[in-house]
Amino acid sequence: MVKIKNLTKRYRNIIAVNNLNLEIKKQEIFGFLGPNGAGKTTTIRILSTLTLPTSGHVYINGYDVVKNPIRVKKEIGVIHQTHNIDPELTGFENLIVHGLLFKMKISEIKRKTEELLELIDLKKDINRPAGKYSGGMRRRLIIARALLHSPNLLIMDEPTTGLDVYTRRKIWRLIKRIRNEGSTVFFTTHYIEEAEYLSDRVGIIDKGKLIALGSPVELINNFGKVAVDIEDFQGPRIEFFNTREDAAKFLSGIDKNAIVRTTNLEDVFIKLTGKRVNPKSDQREQ
């Protein structure tokens, strides 16, 4: 569905994306993780044809994003980081304008809107100005808008940022359902549990380079299924082991405070990048 070959994007002296190679299969949910400024949004902008690559190629369903951007745009639905809806228009008017931009007939827009309203649970608010919607309602409207023209690939840049836990879970279920109905999903996130729950495969990018690729389970197993948090005079650190027995053997030989637990994707991320996925959650923990 998506083929990225030797993709590089430079902004003067800064290399935002550095020789990225990646393939995403049809009906796959692919999570793209990385610290702030790692190159996630630039990659998404290139996939959405909003930014031109400096070198390399990107194909979506066989179409080159540089040579055939209009065709590519018909294949994709994009959910940007921001709540980019027209606040003066009602939810329904936002959808009509979007449908017309995709050359849909009014009757088709109405039919598809009816279908999507069930999915996004906005039926009774659809004729209110979108500027009066809550953050969660806006997000759901944006998802409906991105799905209106039935795209083969849904591209989402941090789809649940700023939403409460309940709405986030609701959107997760929606994303799974979208995939089950035949679409491919490419998304970035700052929430590690989101990536772990949703993704069939995860790619971790740092300083523009892809540094890890695989299913969450594969990535975790590469380091070890068991993690031991150790707190000593050097500060906190994590050691990884393949089995609990190996971890117990290691702990019997040391005299330090330690917690034994299952390794998660965040451990992998921190080990690879030296940073947390969501620096804000770091601040909260401190």
Q: Does 85 bind other proteins (CB under 8 A)?
A: yes
Nearer to other proteins, 65 or 174 (CB): 65
Per-residue x/- track, 215-234, other proteins (CB under 8 A): --------------------
Nearer to other proteins, 133 or 269 (CB): 133
Taking the C-alpha atoms of 134, 138, 139 and 144 in order, what is their torsion angle to the nearest 10 degrees? 140
Stretch that binds other proteins, among 90-98, 165-173, 192-200, 248-256 (CB under 8 A): 90-98
Measured between alpha carbons, how far is 29 from 119 in angstroms, rounded to an integer? 19
Per-residue x/- track, 8-47, other proteins (CB under 8 A): ----------------------------------------
Choose, by CB under 8 A, the member of 6, 36, 82, 243 that binds other proteins.
82
Q: Does 134 bind other proteins (CB under 8 A)?
A: no
Q: Considering the complex, what minimum distance in angstroms separates the CB of residue 39 from other proteins?
A: 15
Nearer to other proteins, 85 or 265 (CB): 85
Q: Does 181 bind other proteins (CB under 8 A)?
A: no
Measured between alpha carbons, how far is 170 from 266 in angstroms, rounded to an integer? 22
Q: Are 47 and 76 in contact (CB under 8 A)?
A: yes
Q: Name the 3-class secondary structure at 30.
A: strand
Q: Does 89 bind other proteins (CB under 8 A)?
A: yes
Question: Which candidate, 142, 150, 148, places its Cα nearest to that of 79?
Answer: 142
A 10 A CB-CB count for 253 gives: 6
Residues 6 or more apart in contact with residue 85 via CB below 8 angstroms: 91, 94, 130, 138, 141, 142, 145
Angstrom CA distances, 255 to 234, 237, 250, stand at 14, 15, 10
Q: Considering the complex, what minimum distance in angstroms separates the CB of residue 82 from other proteins?
A: 4
How many residues make contact with other proteins (CB under 8 A)? 29
Q: Does 80 bind other proteins (CB under 8 A)?
A: yes
Q: Does 2 bind other proteins (CB under 8 A)?
A: no
Helices (H), the chain: 40-47, 69-75, 91-101, 106-120, 135-147, 165-180, 192-198, 216-223, 244-252, 265-273, 279-285
Q: Does 138 bind other proteins (CB under 8 A)?
A: no
Q: Does 103 bind other proteins (CB under 8 A)?
A: yes
Choose, by CB under 8 A, the member of 6, 37, 55, 86 that binds other proteins.
86
| Contact positions vs other proteins (CB under 8 A) | 48-52, 70-71, 73-74, 76, 78, 80, 82, 84-89, 93, 96-98, 100-104, 129
